[in-house]
Chain A
């Protein structure tokens, strides 16, 4: 357990509205990741960060943006939510080894 919290844990929103999900860690890990989990697809990387203000795209980044203004927080923003973004979102952190520690997840439903 790397002290990762995600907020909110559940959210229902409407198509076209902006949504921001927050990941907070207490372990001072350098790397942070956002994944989405959908049935039949496993986990897919959306964006990741390798330091404060340093971010890069993952394999499914369209429609998402991220920001990391301090080590402990990594925000994922859906500028205009669509129904295809209904999913469970996981945040993960990593120090310098291979182990990624995952948060508890946020279940997002876009109506």
Chain B
């Protein structure tokens, strides 16, 4: 089946540092989504991207839809302790009304105060 390769798998950083993670695929996606999962909870949508080359921000988070439509990037600036969690990328194929998503394996972020 289709897969998204997300990297890095985990990061342990100091508070205040910037964070970068990315997702790549062998398939073309028309929509890229970034979710965050806090410990013991379900994922929550952070950013949605709809167009190749699009750069979108949500507070300290910035995500980009790759030009090839096969990759996406998420940056977190000036990390804080509440950024701890698992970050997932997800791709949506075509213009499917079903909303079926393919998820990456996740990047676990730990922030040291």
Q: Are A98 and B99 in contact (CB under 8 A)?
A: yes
Interface centre among B41, B92, B99, B106 (most CB of A within 10 A): B99
- The answer to whether A45 touches B100 (Cβ under 8 A) is yes
A40 to B102, CA, bound (A): 14
Cβ contacts A37-75/B at 8 Å (1 or 0 each) = 000111111001010000010110000000000000000
* Interface-lining segment among B11-19, B42-50, B51-59, B69-77: B42-50
Q: Are A31 and B99 in contact (CB under 8 A)?
A: yes
Using A58-B100, A94-B99 as known contacts, say yes or no to A99 and B41 having CB atoms under 8 A apart: no
Q: In the bound complex, how far is the Cα of B88 from the Cα of A44, in angstroms?
A: 12
How distant is the Cα of A4 from the Cα of B44 in the complex, in angstroms?
13
Question: Of residues 24 to 39 in A, which have CB atoms within 8 Å of B's CB atoms?
Answer: 31, 33, 35
User: Given A43-B88, A50-B98, is A102 in contact with B103 using a C-beta cutoff of 8 Å?
Assistant: no
Contact B42 A92 (CB under 8 A): yes
Asked if B31 lies at the interface with its beta carbon under 8 angstroms from chain A, I say: yes
Interface size counted on chain B using CB atoms at 8 A = 25
Whether B41 contacts A42 by the Cβ 8 Å rule is: no
Closest to B9 in A: A40
Partner of A42 from the list B6, B42, B48, B99 (CB cut-off 8 Å) is: B6
Q: How far is the CA of A102 from the CA of B40 in the complex (A)?
A: 12
CB distance from A12 to the nearest CB of B (A): 18
Chain A interface bracket (under 10, 10 to 19, 20 to 34, 35 or more): 20 to 34
Report chain A residues within 8 Å CB of B40: 104-105
Answer whether A42 and B88 are a contact pair too, CB < 8 Å, given A48-B98, A98-B33. Answer: yes
B residues 91-113 touching A (CB-CB < 8 Å): 92, 97-106
Residues in A with CB closer than 8 Å to B88 are: 42-43
- Cα distance A100–B97 in the bound complex, in angstroms: 13
Binding site for B on A (CB under 8 A): 4, 31, 33, 35, 40-45, 48, 50, 56, 58-59, 90, 92, 94, 98-100, 102-105
Binding site for A on B (CB under 8 A): 1, 4, 6, 31, 33, 40-45, 48, 88, 90, 92, 97-106
